[in-house]
A and B are shown apart, each in its own frame.
Chain A
Amino acid sequence: MAVLERTYKQYEGRLSTEWSRFLIIPRHAYRDVFRSKLFTAFFALSFLCPLIFAILIYLHYNASALGLMRLNVRELLPIDASFFEAYVVIQGVTGFFLTMLAGPQQVSRDLTNNALPLYLCRPFSRSEYVVGKMSIVIILLSAITWAPGLLLFLFQGYLEGWSWSAENIWMASAIFLGSLVWILVLALMSQTISAWVKWRVAARAALLGVFFVSSVFAGVVNQLFATRWANIISLYNLIANVWAGLFGLFVRRTSEIQEFRQGRVIREVVMSEPPLWASWFALFLICAFCLWLLSRKVKAYEVVK
């Protein structure tokens, strides 16, 4: 290493490929993310669910184990679409908490320390920056959601017979697509909140609020106006509908309210869930809104007009 030369000289070696440069951001970010013991412990714990699901699949095909437990696991917990949907839901929620720990500080730290000009004065665009920051969450959550999910699917296919895999390949795509949609929504939302809320604790609270408060708010609106359409403002309902739709389990529930006065029915209200396309559309709108907010904030310098 020529540290003693101490002269200025140009670099004339080979350069890395341009398309892969966004991956530099997550590679360096993980060094900081995994420095947190809380995060590392939580990340390790999030592999518990795939492990339990793998054990359940194993028990299905292990006659001696079934005999020992004297339980009919095959009937108690059939391995079908709802089994894998449950897996996606549990890991999706786990991924949300993981995002809460790793996501909110990523952009805000750069904005607080005026680091954006340093990124953008290089051959590195704003979109590469956003994709790079999002990929911190995308890679982490992929490791705990669809990647082990597909392994579970392969495991089940191996034990049941490959013909089962061929017949149910749509379940594999549902695991992948369902997880990916959720990961993208989380990555975009966490980066947007991070760009607009510079204080990390407040950013985490905001992310939590978007998830839980929206559900509570939707419930209140549904009650007040005797409708179910407010579910499209509940993030949990939206993604739950999308997951159910992908696994072929979506049912557009309808309920009825009857208003009585002096023993007579004076009003009947039929309430039905928004259709599946409304959930997809609402998620698309949320993502578009997040991208718009990010594009307003991720700039080398803000111009005060």
Chain B
Amino acid sequence: MDYAAAAPNDPKSHGSAPGVITLDNLSVRFGGRPILQELRGELRGRAIGLLGPNGAGKTTLIHTLLGFHPPSSGTARIFDRDIRGDANQIKSLIGYMPERDSFISKMSCVHFVRFMAELSGLPPAAALERAHEALFFVGLGEARYRNVDTFSLGMKQLAKLAQAIVHGPKLIFLDEPTNGLDPPARQRMIKMIREIRDSGQAHIVLSSHLLRDVEECCEEILILKEGRLVVYCNLEEERKANKKFLMLETRGDQKAFAASLSTLGCEYAVTGEHRLKVILQDGTEIRDLYRLASAAQMQIRRLTFKRDSLEDIFLKAMENGHGGS
């Protein structure tokens, strides 16, 4: 597992489209206390999950990229524009859904979203049209003339999403978008995030405590621990890399079978009377195992690839990660 993000000079980074976000030794300190420490990497995914325990620096990273906090050293680039020098250009390309309740009181929802669209630079008529569209998209079409103050928590989350996407940004930061949602509302929110991702029109950075949300929406993950980047990887590739890790349930002469595994150069561990863990070597196919089992008069009743779940990746990062970016 590659626990470090692909550095800007990493050969793997070359020859493809420029990264969405490039972190270039980005550090942030508050009152002398380091919050983010020398983050390096090039984030390219369509949907990037931002994970980490409380206080790891997820929200600070988003706020720094949005220009709310100045970096104490290093910098970052979004769509190849520097956050220090091109803040306004960057802000016209991004949408932000904050974690906390954020709205303007005494405004109807459509007025609020339209106002936000106008602040993003849309002319009044286009802003109004897009506000209606965004509210229908998030499912608040029927409630769009109600004051935002009167909305439930779930509706406020949807209104926040609507204001984040109303101006059609290329990059959307979602900070804990499923906070406080009941299971059906959470499912709807996840579905919408996936739809935006699959439209191919915007990149998404999703910060969440909920591994399941990230697993369902994101193709890449970035894990922070104590302000350091400990994991940046593609979830699918990470799982593929682990497909040679097998769990077998057997019947028959397990000892003879295990001994013959050595001839293939495979490592194994007996985990029970009828259970084996096998790590396949390069060049070894699963059919070779069936051949050996047949020779050893043994049945393979069940064979499963042990794939790392996001939880495994996260827990490993928390155990091993010392900020090795």
Contact = CB atoms under 8 A, between A and B. Distances in A.
Given A10-B168, A117-B68, A123 B201 contact: no
B130 A118 contact: no
Interface in A1-42: 1-16, 18, 21, 24, 28, 31-32
Given A13-B126, A15-B121, A122-B120, A4 B136 contact: yes
Nearest to A3: B136
Which of B98, B130, B196 neighbours the largest number of chain A CB atoms within 10 Å of its CB? B98
Given A114-B100, A300-B68, A301-B63, A8 B137 contact: yes
B230 interface: no
A8 B199 contact: yes
A12 B98 CA distance: 25
Contacts of B102: 113-115, 117-118
B310 interface: no
Interface in A91-131: 109-110, 112-115, 117-125
Contact of B106 (A3, A109, A120): A109
Contacts of A114: 98, 100-102
Interface in B192-225: 195-196, 199, 201-202
Contacts of B195: 7-8
Contact of A121 (B89, B96, B104, B165): B96
A267 interface: no
A16 B91 contact: no
B88 A11 contact: no
A295 B132 CA distance: 35
Contact of A16 (B100, B122, B141, B165): B122
Interface string A239-270: 00000000000000000000000000000000
A6 B191 CA distance: 13
B126 A109 contact: no
B63 A24 contact: no
Interface string B56-73: 000000010011110000
Nearest to A6: B137
A303 interface: yes
A31 B133 CA distance: 23
A110 B118 CA distance: 17
A301 B136 CA distance: 30
A119 B136 contact: no
Contact of B132 (A1, A110, A299): A1
A70 interface: no
B98 A3 contact: no
B101 A21 contact: no
B132 A118 contact: no
A121 B121 contact: no
Contacts of A7: 137, 195, 199
A192 to B, nearest CB: 20
Nearest to B91: A123
B245 interface: no
Contacts of A119: 119
Nearest to B170: A10
A8 B119 contact: no
B92 interface: yes
Interface string B274-312: 000000000000000000000000000000000000000
B118 A16 contact: yes
Interface in B232-272: none
Contacts of B11: none
B106 A32 contact: yes
Contacts of B120: 122-123
Contacts of A121: 66, 68, 91, 94-96
Contact of B31 (A6, A28, A125, A305): A305
Given A32-B106, A117-B98, A122 B196 contact: no
Interface string B96-128: 101011111111000100011011111100100
B231 to A, nearest CB: 26
A1 B30 contact: no
A120 B68 contact: yes
B123 A300 contact: no
B116 A11 contact: no
A121 B119 CA distance: 10
Contacts of A12: 168
B2 interface: no
Given A28-B111, A110-B104, A122-B116, A16 B98 contact: no
Interface string A278-305: 0000000000000000000001110101
Contacts of B157: none
A110 to B, nearest CB: 7
Nearest to A114: B102
Which of A18, A113, A122, A300 neighbours the largest number of chain B CB atoms within 10 Å of its CB? A122
Contacts of A10: 168-170, 201-202
Given A16-B118, A117-B96, A121-B66, A8 B91 contact: no
Contact of A122 (B91, B126, B132): B91
A75 B133 CA distance: 67
B206 to A, nearest CB: 15
26 contacts: A1-B129, A3-B136, A6-B133, A8-B137, A8-B196, A8-B202, A9-B201, A12-B168, A13-B122, A13-B123, A15-B92, A15-B123, A18-B121, A24-B118, A32-B107, A109-B105, A114-B101, A117-B102, A118-B98, A120-B67, A122-B116, A122-B121, A123-B89, A123-B91, A303-B31, A303-B69
The 7 closest A-B pairs by CB, nearest first: A305-B31, A11-B168, A10-B168, A15-B121, A121-B96, A300-B68, A114-B102
Given A15-B121, A113-B101, 13 more contacts: A1-B129, A3-B136, A7-B195, A9-B201, A11-B126, A14-B123, A16-B123, A28-B111, A109-B104, A117-B96, A121-B96, A122-B121, A303-B30
